[in-house]
A = this chain, B = another copy of it.
Amino acid sequence: MSRRNTEVTDQGTAPAGAGATAECPLREVLALIGDKWSAQVLVELGDGPRRFTQLERAIEGVSRRMLTLSLRNLERNGLVTRTVYADAPPRVEYATTALIEDIREPLEALSDWARHAGPAIAAARDAYDDRRGRPPAARPAPARS
């Protein structure tokens, strides 16, 4: 007993008035979709309703476990819907709700920014690491003098 594993904004995450409730709404968004997979799930669902395995293969890298947890979390917060069809082979479809319609654009703007600023960020990071003389990961083959 005593569940040790809660994860991904489980029911104990936001006491709703306990005092944690960040005064900054941005923190709440990040708490919701700031985890490793939720945002990507939303992006995939933005293209239309998808089945579980469809998402699993589309996102690539996500495990059944995390995908389930992320979907449950999104469902709990009313961002996606879960529909079960009584077919012979089990069929479950996930879709976005009207709530996320308004964040799709900012989210894509963020993606766009990442694409645009990516190289500059990498360069900055490289320069920073070089300045500190701290190679990120042991140059594979420095020898070569």
Contact = CB atoms under 8 A, between A and B. Distances in A.
A142 B120 CA distance: 46
Given A109-B106, A137-B16, A99 B120 contact: yes
Given A102-B113, A110-B106, A125 B15 contact: no
A136 interface: yes
Contact of A136 (B12, B23, B110): B12
B43 A111 contact: no
Interface centre among A25, A79, A113 (most CB of B within 10 A): A113
Contact of A125 (B23, B77, B137): B77
Interface residues of A, number: 65
A26 B11 contact: no
Given A26-B43, A26-B111, A121-B99, A136 B34 contact: no
Interface of A: 11-12, 14-19, 22-30, 32-36, 39-40, 43, 60-61, 75-79, 99, 102-103, 105-107, 109-118, 120-129, 134, 136-137, 139-140, 142-143
B134 A11 contact: yes
Given A77-B121, A125-B76, A136-B11, A40 B16 contact: no
Contacts of A113: 29, 102-103, 106
A26 B114 contact: yes
